[in-house]
A and B are shown apart, each in its own frame.
Chain A
Amino acid sequence: MTVLAVRDLNVWFDLPGGRAVHAVRGASFTVNEGERLGIVGESGCGKSTTALAILGLLPSSASVAGEVLLDGKNILGASEATMRRSRWREVAMVFQGSMNALNPVKTVGAQIVEPMMVHGTAQGHAARARAGELLEMVGIPAGTTARYPHELSGGMRQRVCLAMALACEPRVLLADEPTTALDVIVQAQVLQLLIDLSTQRQLALVLITHDLPVVAQVCHRAAVMYAGEMVERASTDALASDPRHPYTRMLWNTVPDLYGDHEVVSIPGSPPRLDTGSAGCPFFPRCDSGFDRCTRDNPVLLPVGDRHDASCHLNTDEGS
């Protein structure tokens, strides 16, 4: 059952002087109930922007095109009133840097209860009790509801944000870098929590991160984003065993091998500017397998296997 489908999403941001940054270029993906999808890429590749676009939280300097289908209905560009109803109830988000996502002058409990009251899913005493249950579920004592954010550690705040996101029992959870800045042990706990929640509650999870191994661990499928475009989309098994885009392959190579003697490798160069268009594949300058067609034509996302798409000329006849 496809719960969320994003089709050809494009986002531009206005720059002073009349130009625009094309931050997301034709992103498409689907997530089913109980499925965990990863969106992987470097900082600035457009992954967070995609998530904000789904929730309709882009600033006034943004313009969008494409479709975001929630249960088959397009919510991209729906009125603010309609969006408000879906926010948190259908699609909830755990933001990057949850440290600051909590209001410092309100108690944790008040902030978890808030969406319940706004959407009417629970009131008063019942809401407060449920807040306590949610905290327990993410591994924090229920009494923490009376605390203020600054009294909690980073890991606890992250888990509070997770509990808060689940307050109205959403069907889709967007988790933007939920484990960055957490120590490894807490990271593992949070990731396991995400897996359990999605399995037990048929929660569709979109895990946004730059960390490919994490995605391999947690998600069923993943999409790799580069410079605003999705360059490869497949099951995580396929991405690991048979990457069909040089970027994906090179990303795997950058994962430090704890047991081997390999040198630490990185991908040379930096991502392209997004405020100017250019001919050819955006990854070409950093690619280790580029050839002359790559400078002329921008490759498109094409099927290369069973539910496996990649956008690279290497997959065409010319490239082999």
Chain B
Amino acid sequence: MRTRYILRRLVAAAVTAFVAVTLNFLLFRAVPGTAVSNLSAVPDASPALRDALIREFGLDRPKWEQYVLYMRELAQGNLGISYDNRQPVAANLATALGNSLPMVALGVVFALILATVTAVLAAWKRRTVVDYASTGAAIVFSSFPTHWLALMLLIMFAGILPSSGTSDPFLINPSFWERTWDRLSHMALPSLTLALSLYGGLAVIFRSALLETLGEDYVLTAKAKGLSDWGVLRKHALRNAMLPTTTMIGLYLAFMVTGAILVETVFSWPGVGRVIFQAVLDRDYPMLQGAFLMLTLSVVVMNLVVDLLYFKLDPRIAA
């Protein structure tokens, strides 16, 4: 019964992914103006060049043929060639992802820690100064526009921490530690911005869930059994409060993407967000399409992971 639930979820995710891919395709084929109008805006572009480009990118075939071609290429991991630097989109994205992932991961982990601490303190000591202060801080931080928060941190830490790029290009023969430190110090501000931006909403949700849990009968029973306040929190409240929080995290993941784009722009971080932005400006459609696809699929995967996590935490599902 429980395996059936997992299977159903997997199938649903696969279907969503498929639809997302198709929508992706339609979105970028439906844009006004042909995709090559930008490229052919070179000074000496002749109609022959345009035609050659159109043929090369397969844009003269009927839409459904393009779709089939697209799907086939996709299955082979080919996302096309970027108009901008003539490299495979997949390769570009891989590099960008390699840059984004550590920074975003660090930010998210930090956000989770902050959110948990805030929520636990606020719920445990509710209606005290600790509650009001920590919840208030969470609300304020979640209200800051992400890019503006980034700028504020830039101003505050100007001179102390690097404010752009992933590493210092002028380091000569750095040792392992020097290089690591360099990388980390460049990652510090972007990750911190992301963390501060993300933690607020999560903290408020988690606090709400905890408050609800702390009013349940089994918490009173636990206390009656002789557990300390902290013991009750740890063994009963937190675990149960994670259930509704987990469902909300699914919605939340989309915000992570948003935040990342803004942060990468401010700090000139060459990650996926920046790639998307650049591709939009350059009308680099293959890049855009590839990046979008990657983002959409990762959201589908993240949602699936959240679903499965919830499933593992709550034995009442699919009973």
Q: Does B226 contact A (CB under 8 A)?
A: yes
Report how many A-B pairs have Cβ atoms within 8 Å.
Answer: 68
Q: Which residues does chain B contribute within 8 Å of A87, judged by CB atoms?
A: 223-226
Selected contact of B231 from candidates A103, A106, A118, CB within 8 Å: A118
Q: Does B4 contact A (CB under 8 A)?
A: no
CA distance A148 to B313 in the complex (A): 13
Q: Does B221 contact A (CB under 8 A)?
A: yes
CA distance A104 to B226 in the complex (A): 19
Q: Does B44 contact A (CB under 8 A)?
A: no
The answer on a CB contact under 8 Å between A102 and B221 is yes
CA distance A55 to B225 in the complex (A): 10
> From residue A69, how far is it (CB to closest CB) to chain B in Å?
19
Q: Which residues does chain B contribute within 8 Å of A119, judged by CB atoms?
A: 226
Given contacts A95-B221, A103-B218, A118-B231, is CB(A89)–CB(B319) below 8 Å? no
The answer on a CB contact under 8 Å between A84 and B221 is no
CA distance A105 to B236 in the complex (A): 9
The answer on a CB contact under 8 Å between A95 and B226 is no
The answer on a CB contact under 8 Å between A100 and B218 is yes
CA distance A92 to B236 in the complex (A): 19
How does the 8 Å CB contact mask read for A81-108 relative to B, with 1 for contact and 0 for none?
A: 0001111110011010100111111100
The answer on a CB contact under 8 Å between B217 and A88 is no
CA distance A88 to B231 in the complex (A): 15
Q: Which residues does chain A contribute within 8 Å of B216, judged by CB atoms?
A: 100
The answer on a CB contact under 8 Å between B240 and A88 is no
Q: Which residues does chain B contribute within 8 Å of A101, judged by CB atoms?
A: 217-218, 220-221
> From residue A130, how far is it (CB to closest CB) to chain B in Å?
15
Name which residue of chain A comes closest to B314, CB basis: A105
The answer on a CB contact under 8 Å between A148 and B221 is no
Q: Which residues does chain A contribute within 8 Å of B231, judged by CB atoms?
A: 118
Q: Which residues does chain B contribute within 8 Å of A86, judged by CB atoms?
A: 226
CA distance A102 to B221 in the complex (A): 8
Selected contact of A118 from candidates B221, B227, B240, B314, CB within 8 Å: B227
The answer on a CB contact under 8 Å between A115 and B226 is yes
Q: Which residues does chain A contribute within 8 Å of B55, judged by CB atoms?
A: none
Q: How large is the interface on A (under 10, 10 to 19, 20 to 34, 35 or more residues)?
A: 20 to 34
The answer on a CB contact under 8 Å between A105 and B228 is no
Q: How large is the interface on B (under 10, 10 to 19, 20 to 34, 35 or more residues)?
A: 20 to 34
Q: Does A169 contact B (CB under 8 A)?
A: no
CA distance A106 to B315 in the complex (A): 8
How does the 8 Å CB contact mask read for A263-292 relative to B, with 1 for contact and 0 for none?
A: 000000000000000000000000000000
How does the 8 Å CB contact mask read for A127-154 relative to B, with 1 for contact and 0 for none?
A: 0000000000000000000001011000
Given contacts A57-B223, A87-B224, A87-B226, is CB(A105)–CB(B240) below 8 Å? yes
Q: Which residues does chain A contribute within 8 Å of B86, judged by CB atoms?
A: none
Q: Which residues does chain A contribute within 8 Å of B218, judged by CB atoms?
A: 100-104
> From residue B141, how far is it (CB to closest CB) to chain A in Å?
29
Name which residue of chain B comes closest to A110, CB basis: B235
How does the 8 Å CB contact mask read for A220-255 relative to B, with 1 for contact and 0 for none?
A: 000000000000000000000000000000000000
The answer on a CB contact under 8 Å between A114 and B225 is yes
The answer on a CB contact under 8 Å between A88 and B224 is yes
> From residue B248, how far is it (CB to closest CB) to chain A in Å?
18
Q: Does B222 contact A (CB under 8 A)?
A: yes
The answer on a CB contact under 8 Å between A103 and B222 is yes
Q: Which residues does chain A contribute within 8 Å of B235, judged by CB atoms?
A: 114
The interface centre, meaning the residue of B218, B224, B236 with most chain A CB atoms within 10 A of its CB, is B224
Selected contact of A84 from candidates B228, B236, B316, CB within 8 Å: B228
Q: Which residues of B in the span 285-319 have a Cβ within 8 Å of any Cβ on A?
A: 313-316, 319
The 4 closest A-B pairs by CB, nearest first: A100-B217, A87-B226, A115-B225, A103-B218
Taking A57-B223, A100-B217 as known contacts, 6 extra A-B pairs with beta carbons closer than 8 A to each other, sorted by chain A number, are: A55-B224, A87-B225, A89-B226, A100-B218, A101-B220, A101-B221
Sample of 29 A–B contacts (CB below 8 Å): A57-B224, A84-B227, A85-B226, A87-B223, A87-B225, A88-B225, A89-B226, A95-B217, A95-B220, A95-B224, A100-B216, A101-B218, A101-B220, A101-B221, A102-B221, A103-B218, A103-B221, A103-B240, A104-B240, A104-B316, A105-B239, A105-B240, A105-B243, A105-B313, A105-B315, A106-B236, A114-B227, A115-B225, A150-B319
Binding site for B on A (CB under 8 A): 55, 57, 84-89, 92-93, 95, 97, 100-106, 114-115, 118-119, 148, 150-151
